[in-house]
Chains A and B, each alone.
Chain A
Amino acid sequence: MTNANRQSPWRTELDDLLRGTAGAFLFGAPFLYTMEVWWKGNFTTPPRMALLLALAYGALILLDLQGGFRAKQSRTWLRVFTDSLEALAIALLTATISLVLIGVVTLDTGLETTMGRIITEALPFSIGVGIANHVLLNREQGNAAPASEADPSAHQWHDHAWRGTLADAGATALGAVIIASSIAPTDEIPMIASSLGSAWLLLIIGWSLVISYIIVFEANFGAQQVRRSHPGFFQSPISETLASYLVSLTVSLLMLWLFQLLRVGDPLSQWISYTIVLGLPATIGGAAGRLAL
Chain B
Amino acid sequence: MTRKTNKKSEAPRTTAEWVSMVISLVLVAGVVSLVIAMWLSPSQQPARFRIDRKPIRTEADHYYLPIVVTNEGDATGAQVTVEGSVREAGEEQTSATTFDFIPAHSSVEGVLVFKSEPSSAELRVVSYQQP
Contacts and interface: CB of A to CB of B under 8 A. Distances in A.
A4 B17 CA distance: 14
Nearest to B44: A45
B28 A92 contact: yes
A141 B4 CA distance: 13
B37 to A, nearest CB: 8
A119 B32 CA distance: 10
Interface string B11-38: 0001111011101110110011011101
Contact of B14 (A9, A85, A115): A9
Interface string A44-60: 00110110010000000
A146 interface: no
Nearest to A113: B103
A110 B103 contact: yes
B28 A88 contact: yes
A39 B79 CA distance: 13
Contacts of A89: 23-25, 27-28
A50 B39 contact: yes
Interface residues of B, number: 38
Given A76-B9, A92-B28, A113-B103, A43 B39 contact: no
Given A4-B2, A43-B131, A72-B2, A113 B27 contact: no
A12 B16 contact: yes
B103 A109 contact: yes
Interface in A210-232: none
A1 to B, nearest CB: 6
Interface in A67-92: 71-76, 79, 82, 85-86, 88-90, 92
B24 to A, nearest CB: 3
Contacts of A43: 75-76, 103, 131
Q: Is the interface of A mostly helix, strand, loop or mixed?
A: helix
Interface stretch (B50-58, B82-90, B104-112, B115-123): B104-112
B39 A112 contact: no
Nearest to A73: B3
A86 B16 CA distance: 13
B131 A42 contact: yes
Contact of B16 (A9, A49, A82, A137): A9
Q: Which of B19, B21, B36 has the most CB of A within 10 A?
A: B21
A149 interface: no
B10 A76 contact: yes
B60 to A, nearest CB: 19
A111 interface: yes
A195 to B, nearest CB: 10
Contacts of A2: 1-2
A90 B10 CA distance: 23
Interface string A90-113: 101100000000000000111111
30 contacts: A9-B14, A9-B15, A9-B17, A10-B14, A10-B16, A17-B20, A39-B131, A42-B76, A42-B101, A42-B103, A43-B75, A43-B103, A46-B38, A50-B32, A72-B3, A74-B10, A76-B9, A85-B28, A86-B24, A89-B27, A89-B28, A92-B28, A108-B108, A109-B106, A110-B71, A110-B103, A110-B106, A112-B74, A112-B104, A119-B31
A-B residue pairs, 3 tightest by C-beta:
A110-B105, A89-B24, A9-B14
Interface of B: 1-4, 9-10, 14-17, 19-21, 23-25, 27-28, 31-32, 34-36, 38-39, 42, 71, 74-76, 101, 103-108, 131
Given A43-B131, A72-B2, A82-B24, 20 more contacts: A1-B2, A2-B2, A4-B2, A9-B16, A12-B14, A13-B19, A43-B75, A46-B36, A46-B42, A76-B9, A76-B10, A86-B21, A88-B24, A92-B31, A110-B105, A110-B106, A113-B103, A115-B35, A118-B31, A141-B2
